[in-house]
Structure 1
Amino acid sequence: MDVDVRDFESPPKHDDAILLLAVLNAPVGDEARAGMELLWTYREPPSLEELVQAHEVNSPGYGQVMALLTVGERLGTFVKNGVLHQRLTLELIGMHAVWSRTERIIADLRRERSNPKLFENLEWLATRPPA
């Protein structure tokens, strides 16, 4: 997909940093950080089934991983639509690591919900080439 984003050529703006910090410092940002920490406790990135075996759907752990996916999707949407600076977002968030830990879960959720577009903006951002 060819998307016109504010990329590596233009410097990030102060507003980019403010929006990025607002997303990260919101309560969902804390949950997302906890979700990433939880995923690092697995030797290999877990499947959805493995996650649910250890953390039931209504458990805090499951909710934290879903918060991570939600934050990643929001950030991907902002970058894809030119609202946030791509390089700044990639550098601050570590989206490549997020994708490496969540790719199997996302694939399983897409199959389970018959929605191949689920978390597509997270994937789009996380698979952008690094600076």
Structure 2
Amino acid sequence: MTNNHPHYLQLAHAVLDWNRKHLNRDSSLTEAVIGQCFAEQFIVEPNGRRYEATRANYLEFLNGMKADMAGIDYEIDHTLVDDAAVVFSMRARIAYCDGRTERFRAMLLMRFDNAGKVTLWHEVYVPLAMPA
């Protein structure tokens, strides 16, 4: 049996890099750009909700989400990899164009298909209180 763990870890880091590049108000997203990382159809599960996504409806969602974002960044604390998935325990920071910043603790599970595209984006995130 072939160990694809390094391949899937590389794909997962590429998805986070894709987010860093594209999740801001100045980026132009298209279905083709989303297709760089995401399958034609995939599941998004944020904080206990479940959505069946396509590149078209994910494009609409992301355009709304990033409308006032300056950017997003991640600091990974722990990583687990199996034969088709990667889990990151991490801290996420979202900066907004009005100067606000939100910080989160997050667990992100990404599952990939044979083409290396995301088929599951399962994330649990908890806002961190900002220091006074």
TM-score (normalised: structure 1): 0.30
Larger helix share, 1 or 2: 1
**Greater RCO, 1 or 2 (C-alpha within 8 Å, sep 6+):** 1
Larger strand share, 1 or 2: 2
